[in-house]
A and B are shown apart, each in its own frame.
Chain A
Amino acid sequence: MDLVNYLYLASILFALGATTVLLRRNAIVVFMGVELMLNATNLALVTFARLHGDITGQVLAFFVMVVAAAEVVVGLAIIVTIFRARRSASVDDVNLLKS
């Protein structure tokens, strides 16, 4: 076994996160799917850092974490605002522009 297995794991986690975003309707769970995708990317970055003996990959993973934290703050604030206005956290209910 070599490091490629880590990349396989990262791919599977990323695909599962993407499927969550496509399938679930609760906005918060959809958000968790996005987080899962970011985490899978981090795992790939850390593995690449080890593969190439270059620590820059870990620095990039660090940046991803910081940006993810900022993204969570804004995203959850938006969800809370929508919930206040519409009393629902479902992504299907936010279809005012549709008709």
Chain B
Amino acid sequence: MSGGEEVLFWTLAPLMVIAAAGLLVVRRAVHAAVCVVFVMIGLAVLYVAQEAPFLGIVQVVVYTGAVMMLFLFVLMLVGVDAADSLTETIRGQRWIGLLLGAGLAAVLLGVVAQATFPPSVGLAQANAVTNPVALARVLMQDYVVAMEVVGILLVTAALAGLVLTHRRRLGKKPTQRALAEAKVALLPTGRQLTPLPAPGVYAQNNAMDTPALDPEGRPLEHSVPRVLRIRGQQRSATELLTAEETLVQRIQLDRPAPAENGEDR
């Protein structure tokens, strides 16, 4: 192990352990996803340092690029705000879990510490034909059957994803004609055929909460989105108009006389 690799390892390893521990601590699932992405990119760098450049690239492309993005998609689908519940279903689960985790760490570290490893050989000889070629030779010669099986597994998984998330339509899909006829049938109840008018645009104001004016100058209530009306967040048109009137008067008062203006030029 060269000096540069040592520096790289001791810089990355603590950060990765902190990020992985963050998975245990953070409340929001999105933060956990960011922690895992950090660990995975760190692992990719370590792979490249460990004479496995192909796996390093695959790690970035497959794990951080595809798997974690899939996680984020599902998080958005399920709802980002879904925080963990704090009530314990099993009494003392937290302490039992921590104890088991610490025990597992102790066992694994103990085994690694106890084992005697041969002196490192390094991959310079195996990687002589470049790492991807060497990998491909082993993969295509010794593990052809396994690779085929894994291919079948991937196809099956894709199919399973489709089948599991498939939703069967309960009613018949409405046609365009049926939708149009339903709209016309609702006309007597006060439903409009045309799109609703857009909210009003004033000299000083162009926002969703201000009603438009009809040709006679009366405000159109239904030009403001229904949600804002129900919340009572809409502004009245008369208020806005008087505000603009006073503004016009003030501007006229502030403006200096035209004669002085002419002299200045």
* B123 engages A11 (CB within 8 Å): no
Interface 0/1 of B96-136, CB less than 8 Å to A: 11101110110011001100011011110111000100110
Q: What's the least CB distance linking B79 to chain A, in Å?
A: 8
* A26 engages B84 (CB within 8 Å): yes
B60-112 with Cβ < 8 A to chain A: 62-63, 66-67, 70-71, 74-75, 77-79, 82, 84-85, 89, 93-94, 96-98, 100-102, 104-105, 108-109, 112
* B58 engages A16 (CB within 8 Å): no
Q: What's the least CB distance linking A80 to chain B, in Å?
A: 6
Interface 0/1 of B23-67, CB less than 8 Å to A: 110000100110010011001001100111011001100110011
Interface 0/1 of B1-16, CB less than 8 Å to A: 1000010010001001
Chain A's closest residue to B151 (CB) is: A66
Q: A18-B101, A23-B98, A72-B70 are in contact. Are A46 and B55 (CB under 8 A)?
A: yes
In the complex, B21 has a CB within 8 A of chain A = yes
* A73 engages B24 (CB within 8 Å): no
Q: Looking at the complex, which one of A46, A56, A71, A90 makes contact with B142 (CB distance below 8 Å)?
A: A56
* Cα distance A61–B62 in the bound complex, in angstroms: 13
Q: A62-B139, A80-B77 are in contact. Are A36 and B23 (CB under 8 A)?
A: yes
* B120 engages A51 (CB within 8 Å): yes
Residues of B close to A49: CB separation below 8 A: 52, 123
Query: Which B residues lie at the A interface, using CB under 8 A?
Result: 1, 6, 9, 13, 16-17, 20-21, 23-24, 29, 32-33, 36, 39-40, 43, 46-47, 50-52, 54-55, 58-59, 62-63, 66-67, 70-71, 74-75, 77-79, 82, 84-85, 89, 93-94, 96-98, 100-102, 104-105, 108-109, 112-113, 117-118, 120-123, 125-127, 131, 134-135, 138-139, 142-143, 146, 150, 153-154, 156-158, 160-161, 164-165, 167
